[in-house]
């Protein structure tokens, strides 16, 4: 694992983005730290220790997905998120759950590739510029004074490229032809085989001349040059290792695949999904195009509201594989205030930055923030409780006027969002949710 954060440090990092939900944060932090601890043990005992998977119980919009996502990002772990209900759909075949692990492998490959690309970026960029200069040379030189030495022309092109002055010029370049991906034998429990990719390894890639914009050529060249500089086989192997040791699978809507509700048909398929998930959660080996992947040490985090069913409605086998159950709380007034003012990625910061581009200087007064929080709570109480997601629609409405009218070609305009501003601009929301009687 890339990072050796203690449980406390992990919680500290999560605190920057997610308000409250301490129980859930603590559980995921411990699970992560246990992985690190496990990695330090002798291999015989290490093989024995499997992750303690977690179920997060809580209503919509309270941070379940966000916690998993931030956690994965923090420790650079590959993460996939699936909706358990997806597997109850018509046409579903039991083996389809294995696609979760294949998707995780793809995520992991992208992650590792990105890291490797970053390492060789400088070299790859240099080679990319060289190729672009060569491609552009003739057409560029024809516009320069006739006596300008070639080296100077090349330097000028380089300077223009670096300053994106040639992005939209058209160049003719040779690019490797894309092999048409043809997934075969899908859903038959076979590996998804890509003929193009299989042959791609054997046959040299066919080159094709194409006229494209410089900016697009730059991207293509950069990828090609980066790939030349890294060991792609090693990427696959490292990606598999990461999935096996650090992978996280987030299964949403786990509460919707319980057999609760009686009757036939769909219930059978829902319990069927639980049965199909079991081997993956318990530990099995899945074939992927990067090689076989053992799922024994992948951390599974399941989530659900459990409004209409209970954890106990899950099959005992599956329950047994999720020994840790944590509850997440509804978002309160205090939470809303903190989500707005104390988080690293807060919507207030986002809008302030966005509008600054168009010469609007937004500032938020304490009583303005409190008013937004109050309206959010009331809207959630009187209508569907959508948790922190409520803030997205409220902020959008609040700033709609400014967002629409700001053009950037005016001097800087100061806008102070205080209680009066909020009440004035959210009067429509208040009417819609019939909140006027509480607010004004």
Ligand X SMILES: Nc1ncnc2c1ncn2[C@@H]1O[C@H](COP(=O)(O)OP(=O)(O)OP(=O)(O)O)[C@@H](O)[C@H]1O
**Interface contacts to ligand X, rule CB under 6 A:** 18-21, 58, 60-66, 252, 339, 343, 387-389
For residue 198, give both structure tokens.
Answer: 């299989």
Q: How many residues at the interface with Mg ion, by CB under 5 A?
A: 1
Is residue 104 within 8 Å of 249, Cβ to Cβ?
Answer: yes
Q: 400 Cβ partners below 8 Å, 6+ apart?
A: 425
| Partner whose footprint covers residue 21, from ligand X, Mg ion, none (CB < 5 to 8 Å by kind) | ligand X
State the nearest-atom distance from the C-beta of 65 to Mg ion, in Å.
Answer: 3
- Interface characters, 8-47, with Mg ion (x: CB under 5 A): ----------------------------------------
State the nearest-atom distance from the C-beta of 397 to ligand X, in Å.
Answer: 17
**Residue with smaller CB distance to ligand X, 153 or 305:** 305
| Partner whose footprint covers residue 339, from ligand X, Mg ion, none (CB < 5 to 8 Å by kind) | ligand X
Residues in region 95-154 near Mg ion by CB under 5 A: none
| Partner whose footprint covers residue 343, from ligand X, Mg ion, none (CB < 5 to 8 Å by kind) | ligand X
Alpha-carbon span 197 to 178, nearest angstrom: 10
Helical residues (DSSP H) of 6-120, grouped into ranges: 7-15, 22-39, 43-48, 64-75, 98-119
For residue 407, give both structure tokens.
Answer: 């053009």
State the nearest-atom distance from the C-beta of 221 to ligand X, in Å.
Answer: 36
**Residue with smaller CB distance to ligand X, 153 or 348:** 348
**Residue with smaller CB distance to ligand X, 287 or 385:** 385
**Residue with smaller CB distance to ligand X, 80 or 105:** 80
What's 358's DSSP letter? T
State the nearest-atom distance from the C-beta of 58 to Mg ion, in Å.
Answer: 10
The DSSP secondary structure of 232-287, one letter per residue, reads HHHHHHHHHHHHHHH-EEEEE-GGGGS-TT-SSTHHHHHHHHHHHHHHHHH--EEE
**Residue with smaller CB distance to ligand X, 53 or 295:** 53
Alpha-carbon span 92 to 80, nearest angstrom: 19
State the nearest-atom distance from the C-beta of 200 to Mg ion, in Å.
Answer: 37
State the nearest-atom distance from the C-beta of 369 to ligand X, in Å.
Answer: 14
Please report whether residue 85 would count as binding Mg ion according to CB under 5 A.
no
Burial of residue 233 (CB within 10 Å: 0-12, 13-18, 19+) is exposed
Alpha-carbon span 218 to 216, nearest angstrom: 5
**Residue with smaller CB distance to ligand X, 63 or 236:** 63
Contacting range for Mg ion; rule: CB under 5 A; set: 60-68, 109-117, 166-174, 400-408: 60-68
Please report whether residue 65 would count as binding Mg ion according to CB under 5 A.
yes
Place of tokens 């990105």: 114
Alpha-carbon span 387 to 61, nearest angstrom: 4
- Positions in the binding site for Mg ion (CB under 5 A): 65
């Amino acid at each position: 694992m890339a990072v050796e954060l203690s449980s406390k440090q992990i919680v500290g990092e999560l605190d920057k983005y997610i308000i409250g939900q301490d129980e859930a944060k603590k559980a995921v932090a411990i699970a992560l730290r246990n992985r690190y601890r496990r990695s330090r043990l002798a291999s015989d005992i290490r093989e024995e220790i499997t992750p303690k998977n977690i179920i997060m119980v809580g209503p919509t919009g309270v941070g379940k997905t966000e916690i998993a996502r931030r956690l994965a990002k923090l420790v650079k772990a590959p993460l996939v998120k699936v909706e358990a209900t997806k597997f109850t759909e018509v046409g579903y075949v039991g083996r389809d759950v294995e696609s979760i692990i294949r998707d995780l492998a793809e995520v992991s490959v992208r992650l590792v590739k990105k890291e490797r690309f970053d390492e060789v970026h400088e070299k790859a960029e240099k080679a990319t510029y060289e190729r672009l200069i060569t491609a552009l040379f003739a057409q560029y030189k024809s516009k320069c004074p006739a006596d300008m030495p070639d080296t100077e022309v090349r330097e000028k092109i380089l300077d223009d490229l670096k300053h994106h002055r040639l992005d939209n010029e058209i160049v003719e370049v040779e690019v490797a032809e894309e092999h048409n991906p043809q997934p075969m034998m899908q859903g038959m429990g076979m590996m998804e085989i890509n003929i193009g990719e299989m042959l791609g390894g054997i046959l040299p890639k066919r080159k094709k001349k194409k006229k494209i914009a410089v900016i697009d050529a730059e991207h293509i060249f950069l990828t090609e040059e980066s790939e030349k500089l890294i060991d792609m086989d090693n990427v696959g192997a490292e990606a598999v290792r990461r999935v096996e040791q650090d992978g996280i699978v987030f299964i949403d809507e786990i509460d919707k695949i319980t057999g609760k509700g009686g009757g036939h048909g769909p219930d059978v398929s829902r319990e069927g999904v639980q049965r199909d998930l079991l081997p993956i959660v318990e530990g099995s080996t899945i074939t992927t195009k990067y090689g076989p992947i053992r799922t024994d040490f992948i951390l599974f985090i399941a989530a659900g509201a459990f409004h209409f069913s209970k954890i106990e409605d899950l099959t005992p086998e599956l329950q047994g594989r999720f020994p840790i159950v944590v509850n997440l709380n509804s978002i309160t007034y205090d939470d809303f205030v903190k989500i707005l003012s104390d988080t690293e990625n807060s919507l207030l910061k986002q809008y302030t930055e966005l509008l600054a581009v168009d010469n609007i200087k937004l500032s938020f007064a304490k009583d303005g923030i409190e008013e937004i929080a109050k309206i959010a709570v009331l809207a959630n109480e009187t209508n569907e409780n959508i948790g922190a997601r409520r803030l997205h629609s409220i902020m959008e409405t609040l700033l709609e006027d400014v967002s629409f009218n700001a053009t950037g070609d005016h001097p800087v305009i100061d806008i102070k969002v205080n209680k009066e501003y909020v009440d004035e601009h959210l009067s429509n929301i208040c009417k819609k949710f019939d909140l006027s009687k509480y607010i004004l």
